[in-house]
Structure 1
């Protein structure tokens, strides 16, 4: 029987790993690769803010797991993982929302956990009841629908009703969403929607730390801060949210900010069910503890990558790989090599994280970032160079999934489609 590799989670790291392994071990019939996900399609998570604003149509940009499996010599199973029996080497799957089949099991010889992360509410009262999130495509589309319905109600009225939005968390998601929403309202205004203009959209971005985007150097962080202020966004740093209510957010100093929409984009934690995986070690935010080979600390047949894993940066510093898309991409590349070595009985390679810098999109207005490598001496990169490099990150992800020729065809198709459809998703 061929070696059975099961990958749970079809996010950026999981789908890239399944595709790479399918093209190598799967094509050569050295292993059976199975990808498990609760969804049927993949959208790159760093673009969820564009889905929410309507700049990206997920129906056009999605990747279908079933078709991807067929094209790349792996298998796909639709389901949500709920547990594991490490002795029998079997995972339990339950039916995703909207389906009704019974719980079932899938056996493995090697298991890879790539289930990602979601926002961390830090136990703040009212967050789960009153906030919107951007952890999934469904959440992004729901937020888009809420925003569009608000503009349509205003369009049908003779009176302008300003929309107050509070976004908690000034990491990449919160910052990029602010800029994308400002871009969206300008586009909507161009289609003649009454009362849709920047003056009727009031966004407050709240950050508990001393500055926004702590992953950037201070110069780049300040440049983004200034760019947001120029767009009319109220940026408040050193501001902690104590509670979220139906009508707004309550700050630690007792001040209340009224908000029609509350969006939580702060912190990360891995899914809760990782704490119940037959004794596997996790940290305080539910991430699986792994060695530098990406094997879990208690079971060498189980690997983890991406945001759901806690991997040491080195053997001495006590620091860990940051939960970023580029880390998941690099781990998928290494894990493809390590799984081949694992099957061949060879020693596994240690993961070495290469920080290539960070780029932040300010919608069509600008892009700002700090890069390592050819542009690192400048301290800050912005404008057309930064915007082009930012866009190329998504193209590299597409190339990893489709191959470069098909990625270029998709680029051409997207260009042609833009000539025949609205600049913004208006439904």
Structure 2
């Protein structure tokens, strides 16, 4: 039995780990994980990599080492084709940064295929965005942002010695969790850089604009939480622009629908998601308008019982007519559910379990300043709005649950201890 999981994000890596422990260890199935990167980083942490408050070299996980420890195989590559009749997938040729061939095109056979490819930022076809703005879809993009930020602050510190009016501008489109958290982290980064030797910098020299097309920030959260986060951001000096639709991007500026020009040294686009067009076009599987694969409640694709989809790349219906939201908790739940259904399939069962999404709430971390959110569902038998230290503890717990699924109790405990020691031993900010 050959089980292939394509995509090593939160859901895909957790699923491959569980399957490896259950079937790979006993040689009952050949479990293979495929990803275009060599290492894994929990996607909700990318804004911390961008701001420098998280060192990817310390917190990322090697796919190959993890595969060895948990009895599955890892193959580096990018999906380029699915042949449902032959039950094969094709991986595109891999080249290095200099264009030299590293791996040729490869074809792999599967009995069960799981698509866990995640999503990318949706620019909605807005002119100029792809050319001028930075997205935070992958660690490489977050690290590019971080390098640009450090260089910009160094230049600002030099200019500030002779020009008291010098400023550094960052404009972020999209006031969902990523945009809001990034805004707060950048404010914290600026203050730490002042302590680390850029003594000419003053708080008023950092100008952050957070741009939202809707009537309020954090539209997925209750209005009271949204208002609380809005108030906190404004208190930090962040210019929050609501009901502001960006029509295009020019080099160094966003231009709104009413021709307002928002100049910035760094442009960030963090509004909306979609599955990349090339993935949706590589098979005849049904997709929706943002290229997510349509699945049944069992999380099997609508046209093929042997292909599952989970996480951001899956369009899974709920009882209220909506689809499961693209969140880390959704991917975590879906991975556990697909694991159970694959177990049933391998046991010869024909009736699989239907997935029911459980909303445990949403949390938004405003760096060291505050954490806000809501707890829902089985945790509280309703909705409980939380802020401050309790919310911060719950926010950190979400990441610990992901680590627990990957490493188990003992190793996760050691990682928590290691993180505590690193807070004492390492700088508060990545400075390179």
TM range (shorter): over 0.9
Q: What number of residue pairs does the alignment pair up? A: 423
1:368-379 equivalence runs, <5 A: 368-372=372-376, 373-375=378-380, 379=384
* 1:328 is the counterpart of 2:326: no
Counterpart check, 1:276 vs 2:274:
no
1:152-167, aligned counterparts within 5 Å? 152-157=154-159, 158-159=161-162, 161-167=166-172
Q: Quote the residue 1:33 is aligned against.
A: 31
- Report the equivalent of 1:220: 225
Q: Does 1:49 align with 2:47?
A: yes
Task: Return the alpha-carbon distance in structure 2 between the equivalents of residues 286 and 14 of structure 1.
Answer: 18
TM-score in terms of structure 1 length? 0.96
TM-score calculated relative to the size of structure 2: 0.95
Counterpart pick for 1:288 among 265, 289, 293: 293
- Structure 1: 5+ residue stretches without partners: none
Checking the alignment, whether the CA contact within 8 Å between 1:290 and 1:296 is kept in structure 2 is yes
In structure 2, list runs of 5 or more residues that go unmatched: none
Aligned residue for 2:207, secondary structure, equals strand
Task: Identify which range, 154-163 or 110-119, moves more after superposition.
Answer: 154-163
1:11 aligns with: 9
Residue 377 of structure 1 deviates from its aligned partner by: 5.8
2:368 to 364, 370, 392: 364
Shift of 1:278: 2.4
Provide the residue aligned with 1:241 in structure 2. Answer: 246
* SS, match of residue 274 in structure 2: coil
* Residue 236 of structure 1: how far off its partner (Å): 1.0
Task: Provide the C-alpha distance between the structure 1 equivalents of 2:155 and 2:181, rounded to a whole number of angstroms.
Answer: 26
Cα separation, 1, equivalents of 2:383 and 2:271: 29
* 1:10–1:195 Cα change, 3 Å: same
Q: Single out whichever of 345-354 and 147-156 deviates more from structure 2.
A: 147-156
In structure 1, C-alpha distance between the alignment counterparts of 2:383 and 2:323, rounded to whole Å: 27
In the alignment, does 2:392 pair up with 1:387? yes
Query: Could you tell me which of 408, 413, 420 is aligned with 2:425?
Result: 420
The CA deviation string for residues 72-116 of structure 1, in whole angstroms up to 9 with x for no partner, is 111000111111111111111123452532111111010000000
Matches of 1:197 and 1:407 in 2, distance apart? 40
Deviation at 1:259, TM superposition (A): 1.3
**Quick check: 246-255 or 91-100, which moved more?**
91-100
User: Is the Cα contact below 8 Å between 1:54 and 1:184 reproduced in 2?
Assistant: yes
Deviation track 1:102-159 (CA, whole Å, cap 9, x = no partner) reads: 1111110100000000110000000000001100000000000000011122334423
Q: How far apart in 1 are the matches of 2:73 and 2:162?
A: 54
- C-alpha RMSD of matched pairs (Å): 1.3
Structure 1 distance, partners of 2:314, 2:383, is 33
Out of 388, 409, 415, the position equivalent to 2:414 is: 409
Among 56, 59, 62, the alignment partner of 1:61 is 59
Whole-Å separation in 1 of the counterparts to 2:333 and 2:216: 28
Supply the distance in 2 between the matched residues of 1:292 and 1:377 (Cα, whole angstroms).
Answer: 24
Q: 1:32 to 1:257 in 2, by over 3 A?
A: same
For 2:263, the equivalent position in structure 1 comes to: 258
